[in-house]
Every structure is written in C-alpha cells, then in structure tokens.
Structure 1
C-alpha cells in the first residue's frame, strides 16, 4: 500500500505547489477538495490544510469536517488552514492592521518543536493573508514569530497538529522545503520511497491486474504524456495495446508523418488515422474557444469509437491525462475554479462502450518526464514541448479555415526550427505561434500590404500551472520575424507575447 499525504484544498493558488514540494521529497500526496476527501486508511500518514482566498470570518467560509483527522493524524494547517484551526477551536482571528503580505523574517523560532528542527532563527518566509491570529486557544503554543506577527506558527499540546501563517511551498520561503520535510518525514514518518522506478513498478502491476487480458486502445498525440502512458501500458499488456494517432488537421507541419516514423522504434502497434477534413468541417464557422474545444473533444470520441470497432474485443481507452488537467477541470463548490475544459478529462459518452484507463492521472508534467526517462525513452520524446490537445485550433483566434491552418503551420515551423537551430529549444518549456484575428498594414517593395499578424509565445515552467515568459534574445526574435515575413505570404507582422501565467494563460484560447 502506497503511503501518502492528503492535501485538503480550500482554493488557494498555491495548493498545487504544496503537492509538488511534497513530491520532490519522494513522498506521494494527493489533493482533494476540503469537503470531498476519501475515507482515511492506513496509507494516509498525515494531512495538510491549504490556504484559501476566503477569510475564516466570512459567512460562507469553508468548514471541513476534521473529526477523523485532528488529534488522530499529524496535521499541518497552512495560512487559512492555520487560521481555521485557531478560529474554530477557541481562538480569535481578526483583520490585520499590519503588513502580512510578501517577504518576512522569523524573529523567534522554537527549534525544540519538531516542525522547526534545524530552521534558522531569522529564516525568510512568505506571507500572503489579510487576517491574523490575534488570540490562540489555551492549549496552543507559539513556536515561531515575526516582528509583525506574533502567532506566525503554533503547535497544539498533546497532538501532532501544527499551524503556520506563512507559505512554505513558495520559493521565497527559503527553508520551506526543510520545514515540509520535517513534517512529512520526521513527524508523519513517510519513508521517501516514491520514485519514478517505484511508480513504474506499482503502476505496471496495477494495470496488469485492472486490465487483465483485455485489449486497450490509446490515443497517441506525439507528446510526452501520451507516449509515456503508451509505454507503461505496453510494459503491462504488450500486444494487447493498439495505439491510434489521429491527424485532426490541426497538427504542426509534417507532424503526422514525423511522429509515426518516431514511434516505429518503440515497438508499439500504431495506426495512423487521417481525419483532418472531418475536424475542420465540424469547426467551420465556430469562433468561441470553449465550443472549439468541445467540438474537438466530441470528434476525437467519434473517431476513436469508429476505430475501436475495428479492434476486436477492445474494452479500454487509454489516455495521457495528467494531474494539472484534472485540477484545472475540477470545480467543487468553489475551491478550485474551472479555468478551461480539457477534452481528455471527464469520461466518455454512454454510447461508447470503452472504459477509461489513465496511467498518468496523478502526475505533474515534470514527473511524467522523469518516469519516461526511467522507462528508457529518448530525449526526442521526453524533451518535446507540450502541445495542446486541440492543436492549432486554439492558436487560430476566431474561425478556422484550411488557409489559416496553412499560414500558421508555415510560420510555426520556422519559429520552432530556428529555436532548435539556435540551441534555444531545450531552454524553453513551451513555444508556439498564434494567428491573430486581425490584419495590419505593411509595405513590401513599393506595394502596400494588408495581411495577417502572428504572435510568438515562449514560456518557462515546470508543470504548466504557472509560467513566465522567456527572455529570448532580441537578435533571435528579429531573425525569426524577418524569416516568417519573407517566406510566408499572407503574414506581414510578427509580435512577441510577454505575459506570464497568472494572470494570462499559456495558450491564448
């Protein structure tokens, strides 16, 4: 039984970051909404309560049922979690009249408290809250303070329950990882044995048991997620896996043939399906990005349904869904706001008789790459930039036509090829070109032009939950712009996107 930490989500923007930090310690954890978590068993070694945009003083503030947790399992409240444990158990939380946002330094640390073992006396932490704990319940003890926040951290006497009013998961809390390690390893007793190799061993065994001798169809995209999912399934069930790679007419230039060629060396049984005309016909006249995603998702299902009928006794549909897809598509009474729908999350319609298997559903993107490396996959699979499931459909703003797809494919091919040639591709997490729904005036020779505009996008990230724009060299951007304008008839202007996530998303739609 895999030991784990549960993280109860109250809607904080940092909840996923807590999970990533815990997993970096080789300790498995799962995120659940505060009001919808599974029954606890022996595998659960401890619980972390996240922060929240709510105040505990709000009328509709989240109130978890902690009766099976508090005092029975190690418990760490972070920010809102800490304030909840104080407010609802006899303390007082009030709006703060002091600065409690941004960097701060601890002025007092009780190193005898196991949570603060080996934490420096003036350790830098990151505050992000408008309320503060004014009065602690009688059996709570202060274990850390800042010059402005007396009750920056506490423990409950007689329990392995702790609260901190700062965020250990963010980069600015310089010893935050050490504090989390104190909690999950020393206090919760986790063995730190959740590694890529252990994940592969456990997952392959689970897939064998779950699937048995059944046949599985997997949708390949050419990206790292579906490739790693395919290799895990291949290791578990071998020839009973049939992979289908669909050309939806919205792939990058030459991608259909290039990807099929790459897959030959992996020993996978891959069928290529050219369904571009079907996708483009269904997308004709559609401008709304959510409608595009839903049409593409429904069309994928239709194509897989048709192809599955050709595979005798197929019972399962394998998908490369990863954790950020699941998190971003969930919304339970407000804690996690739905940002956009994902075509590979949420199951299948009743008429399609395939069950879904998602080997990577609980992994972040960087974890998928580490698992792929342990599986022996080459860099050309592992270092491929993420590419959206709906493809170029969400990089063509507005209505989609064959001519717009051609324009974008040509411009994007130049951009990606030049990134590779200049040694910049591996320094970027994701790059792509966006065709804007506007035209601009230009001059070519003695002629006035009125043609399309493309935006170049390049971001740095680890899992797509947050991202910063890349500071690509001006000289490189100038060369790309010149090459696109000189070689792609129909484009006369190139711009560069310098927005980070948040507030912007990585894709434009």
Structure 2
C-alpha cells in the first residue's frame, strides 16, 4: 500500500524533483503534482505536508501560477521555497515586488532572533543558494521575518501558529550548506513524519509494474552501456526474462574504444545483447546540422527509426525501454505538468518524434543519477559499473559545436581519450562527476615547428555534482592541465590550442549543447 505522501506542488522550478529526491533520501515518500492540481485531488492523496516549489514567474504578472487559498486552511504544515514563498505571502496578504537587487548564486543568510527552533541550524552568514528577481516587501499578517541576507530583508518567514513557513533560498541543493538538515528538521520535527519509503521498495514496485504493463508481450531496450540504461535493462530483464531484448546501437558518435568495452562489460552481466551498426545512417542525417536542438532531435528520431527497423525484422514489438532520468525530463519538458522552462531537448525525451510506434517504458524517469547508482547496487552491479562517468545519449555530437563530420569526430575522440586517460590515472577520478573534451567552432593561430598553424580549439570540462541538476567546476591541478594540453596539441592533428571551462551549472549546463 502506498503511504501518505509529502506533496510537492510544482510551480515550474528546474529543481522541483530535487526537492522530492531530498525527501526520499530521508526515506519519506513524496509525490509531485502541478500547482494547478484541484483541491479535491490534493485531499484525496491525504498528504502529510505540502511543499511549494520555486518557479520562473512573478506572482504579480498576469497568468502567473496561482495557489488555492483553501490549501492554507487544511491544517497541514506548508513550506514555500523561492516562488513558493512569494506565492504563499501573496495569497496570505503580503506584498511582493520586483527586487531592486536580484540575487543569483550563493549568498550569506542570517536567521532572526527569537524565532522557532526550525532556524537553529543556520548560523550568521550561512551559505544559501539564491535565484530570484522579486522580494517580499511586507510579510502577511501573522507572519514573522525569520532571516535575511544583505539585499533581501525577508529571506525567510514563518507563522508558527498555522504551521506555515517560507524560504527565499533553495534548501534542496548542495550549495545551501545546511539545506538538507533544514528540510529534515521541518519534515521530522515540525511535521512529525516518520520513515515510510525505501529505494528497494521502489525497485520491487517497478518490477511488478513492468510485468503488469507489458503482460505477455515482448520488450526491447535501448542499451548504451551507461549506468542508466544498464539498470533499466536489469530491471526489465528481471521482470520479463526471455521476453526482454537489448539492442546496442553504434551511432558513430561513441568515444574511443567504447564499443568493445561495452560488449565486454555488458556480456559479463548476462544481459542478452545485439549490436546494430547504424553509423552511416546517423552521420548522413547529421550532415550540415549545426543547431543544437535540431541535432538532438535528429538523433532522437534516428534512434527510433533504427529500433522500428530492427523490431520489424524480428516481428512486432510494442514496448521500448529507455534509461531516461529526471534531469533529462525536466530540461526537456515539464514532466509533472508544471510551467518549467525547456532548457534543451534530450534525445530520449524532447528529441523524440510526436508519433511513436512504441509505448515507452521508463522505470527510472523519476530518479536522479545518484539514486540510479544506489539502485544499481541493489541489483548487484559492481562499483566499476556504478561509478562509470555519465555519457550523453547523443554522444560526441553535442560535444562538437557546429556540424558533425567524420574528421571532427576523429579529432574530438583522440582529444577526449587523452583527457579521460590523464584524469583516470590521477587521484581525481573518484572526485569528479564528468570530465571530457569539447571541440569548439573556432580556429586560432599557432606556431608549430617554426610554421604558422590555423587550427581548432579544444575545451576541457571537469565538474563535481551529486545529481546532475547543479554542478561545480573542479579546478584541475595546473600540472595535470599542462600534461593534457601538451599531449593533445602534440599528438592530435588539427588542434593547436586548449582552454579550460570554469562555468558552473547554473548558469551553464554541464554539456555545451
């Protein structure tokens, strides 16, 4: 039986699912509904508490997502985050205006004196992540200001009597140092919620859901060899046995030596696997395509075309399994109906054609990368699999800015192999989320062997992350950077300059396209 949830109302934040993930980490069941969900639907789910997410809108703009005032009279504890705090203040009778100084990034937060114990976790100048252009000018009647930053007088507020709380910052991200403890304190101590959810329960439930949905039919799986598709394959294979079929599509966009490594690793897991050579088809369709969105959608459509072709050769398959994760979904579309902005179309979400010949099975769609890794361990995967560096489904195509050609793919493959080899031979390997090379659409003048060169520029990217939704730059050791740069320029014809990317996510994304 599904337990009563902590219900998260989605006002369109890119971090809404991050909130749900933090709640699940505490082994408390959570669900997400769009902010427009009817009051009757919310009552039906019998939530233990409400969390109002952030979002890109301003409460005073026409058409901005609204909050039903009746939700504040249900007797439930409510926590508003960013826009969630602003809409809470707006509905409860406060005043919200455009901020004179917008806050983006980590800021020092100081709790007020004589407020509830909920704020005891924050010391003066505690680091919190801010991302807002509006401020609460006047808190609603009955609310107390619970904290401030240098430019935001009302950075937190509370109405202890009604159990209503708000924070302008994002406690759900790692950059807010005490954020997770704050959420735990709110849920366990303020709301009185006990543990009622485990990842193993999620695994068991989805195995049964796959069996129930597929019935006596067969299911094919798009297997790339990464942790996402591998865990998806293991789940589906456990559910369906011989009625599960895994295809590995060589799209010509793989890293150096990737195909033989994938064949070796996947065969050791006992997953039935068939290799499909579609290199010429993908590269032909990508010829002359420079726009990032068009690239991703071209790759997505081509993957489907390949699966349709292969499925027809073998009979009629109705279901296709993919290792889609929530970061793919939330950057492509609003999975739960909230008004979140499209950042980029992932090849397996926004890049898919509108008319699909398959019904998609995506058992990991509500999980983040770290949760998938934990799920992989539950399924018996070794650390070598679980800690594998993420690699995007569109492959090297989105690490080549501009048109994709065999020549540019070769240049990037060789440069990327050097980056990976050098990092993996250093103590940094276990610290980094991703590390790779990018081929830029610019050329620079150089001098090699006393002769002028005019060749490509490569960028190196190295980031740390927990879930892929936010990422911090890892500043590689100058000696390591020097070795990488020297090897690339000396051994990869076509590159005469190497640069290092120092942009975090946000405002940048991890991949360049």
TM-score by length of 2: 0.88
Q: Please, which of 119, 141, 144 is the counterpart of residue 142 of structure 1?
A: 144
Q: Hey, what's the Cα distance between the residues in 1 that align with 2:451 and 2:224?
A: 42
2:29 maps to 1:28: yes
Deviates more, 1:467-476 or 1:306-315: 306-315
Alpha carbons 2:301, 2:352 under 8 Å: kept: no
Alpha carbons 1:18, 1:169 under 8 Å: kept: yes
Q: Hey, what's the Cα distance between the residues in 2 that align with 1:100 and 1:478?
A: 36
* Structure 2: gaps spanning 5 or more residues: none
1:71 — aligned with what?
Answer: 74
2:258 maps to 1:262: no
Deviates more, 1:390-399 or 1:189-198: 189-198
TM-score by length of 1: 0.89
2:7 — aligned with what?
Answer: 6
Q: Hey, what's the Cα distance between the residues in 2 that align with 1:350 and 1:450?
A: 43
Matches within 5 A, 1:18-57: 18-35=19-36, 39-40=41-42, 41-42=44-45, 44-57=47-60
Query: 1:174 and 1:244, CA in 2 relative to 1: closer, same or farther beyond 3 A?
Result: closer
1:477 — aligned with what?
Answer: 481
Alpha-carbon displacement from aligned partner over 1:319-371 (angstroms, at most 9, x marks no partner): 10111111111259983111100111159657653211101000011111111
2:380 maps to 1:376: yes
1:491 — aligned with what?
Answer: 495
2:109 — aligned with what?
Answer: 104
Alpha-carbon displacement from aligned partner over 1:55-87 (angstroms, at most 9, x marks no partner): 433444421335467425432223432332333
Report how far residue 43 of structure 1 moved. Answer: 5.9
Deviates more, 1:313-322 or 1:98-107: 98-107
Q: Hey, what's the Cα distance between the residues in 1 that align with 2:175 and 2:463?
A: 21
Matches within 5 A, 1:104-183: 104-111=109-116, 115=118, 119=121, 124=126, 126=128, 128=130, 130-132=134-136, 134-137=138-141, 140-142=142-144, 144-145=146-147, 149=153, 152-155=156-159, 157=161, 159-171=162-174, 174-183=177-186
Alpha carbons 2:21, 2:367 under 8 Å: kept: no
Q: Hey, what's the Cα distance between the residues in 2 that align with 1:133 and 1:277?
A: 60
Alpha carbons 2:55, 2:340 under 8 Å: kept: no
Alpha carbons 2:146, 2:158 under 8 Å: kept: yes
Report how far residue 107 of structure 1 moved. Answer: 2.7
2:465 maps to 1:464: no
Q: Hey, what's the Cα distance between the residues in 1 that align with 2:179 and 2:62?
A: 32
Report how far residue 97 of structure 1 moved. Answer: 7.8
Alpha carbons 1:142, 1:151 under 8 Å: kept: no
SS at match of 1:136: coil
SS at match of 2:507: coil
Alpha carbons 1:70, 1:161 under 8 Å: kept: no
